[in-house]
Amino acid sequence: MAITKETVSYVAHLARIQLTPRELEKLSGQLKDILDFINKLGKVDIKNVSPTSHILPINNVLRIDHPQESLPADKALENAPHQEGNFFVVPKIIE
């Protein structure tokens, strides 16, 4: 499966990363090589093999519904690049 510059550009948009034209060019080349290498996985016989998304044989990890102390608002906002009162601030959302 080839990865074109258009694909890389689209995927960069999905990932919300702005690439310079040089970056786009370079990255597309590198990703093509990496994917060519990864494509060797196509040789493996995976018939009847179930996927492993959790390596540990544990299940049903649950927590009791008992309130714990929250962070005070000033701690929550301490690292915020932009805040107003007790709110985080983001630029205009264009729908």
Partner 1 sequence: MDYETVIGLEVHVHLKTKTKAFCGCSTEFGKEANSQVCPVCLGFPGSLPVLNKVALDYAIKVALALNCKVQEYTKFDRKNYFYPDLPKNYQISQYDLPLSRDGFLDIYLDGKNKRIGIRRVHLEEDAGKLIHKEDISLVDFNRTGIPLLEIVSQPDINSPQEAYEYLTILKSILEYLEISDCDMEKGSLRCDANISLRKREQAELGTKTELKNMNSFKAAKEALAFEIERQTELLNENKAVIQETRLWDAKELKTFSMRTKEEAMDYRYFPEPDLPPFIISSEKKEEIKKTIPELPREKMLRLVRDYGLLEYDAKILVSNKWDADYAEELIKTYKDINKKPIVNWLIGALTATANSRNCTISQLQVPAGDFIELIDLVENKRIISSLTGKSVLIEMVDTKKSASQIIKEKNLAQISDTDVLNAQAEEVIKENPKSVQDYQGGKNNALMFLVGQVMKKTQGKANPKVIQEILKKLLE
Partner 2 sequence: MNKVNLNELTAHELLGKLKKEEITSEEILSILVKRIKEVDPKVKAYVRVDKSNGQTGKRANGQTDLLKGIPISIKDNICTEAYNTECCSKILEGFKPPYDATVIKKLKEAGALIWDSKTNMDEFAFGSSTENSFFGPTHNPWNLDCVPGGSSGGSAAAVAADEAILALGSDTGGSIRQPASFCGVVGLKPTYGRVSRYGLIAFASSLDQIGPITKDVQDNAVLMNAIAGYDPKDSTSVDLEVPDYTKALGKDIKGIKIAIPKEYFIEGLEPEVKNIVEEAVNKLKEIGADYKQVSLPHTEYAVPVYYIIATAEASSNLARFDGVQYGFRSKKPKQNLIEMYKNTRGEGFGDEAKRRIILGTFALSHGYYDAYYLRALKVRTLIKQDFDQVFKEFDCIITPTSPTPAFRIGEKIEDPLKMYLSDIYTISANLSGIPAISIPCGFTKRGLPVGLQILAKPFNEELLFQLAYAYEQNTPWHTMKPKL
Positions in the binding site for partner 2 (CB under 8 A): 1, 3, 7-8, 11-20, 23, 27, 30-31, 33-35, 37-38, 40-42, 44, 46, 49-56, 58, 61, 63, 71, 75-76, 78-82, 88, 90-94
Min dist CB 83 to partner 2, Å, is: 9
Cβ atoms 5, 12 nearer than 8 A:
no
Distance, in Å, from the CA atom of 76 to the CA atom of 17, rounded to the nearest integer, reads 26
68 near partner 1, judged by CB under 8 A: yes
71 near partner 1, judged by CB under 8 A: yes
Measured CA to CA in angstroms, residue 54 lies from 44, 45, 46, 57, 87 at distances of 21, 21, 18, 8, 37
Query: Of 37, 47, 48, 84, which one interacts with partner 1 (CB under 8 A)?
Result: 84
Measured CA to CA in angstroms, residue 11 lies from 4, 15, 36 at distances of 11, 6, 18
Q: Looking at residue 15, what DSSP letter applies?
A: T
Q: Which residues contact partner 1 by CB under 8 A?
A: 14, 16, 53-54, 56, 58-73, 76-77, 84-93, 95
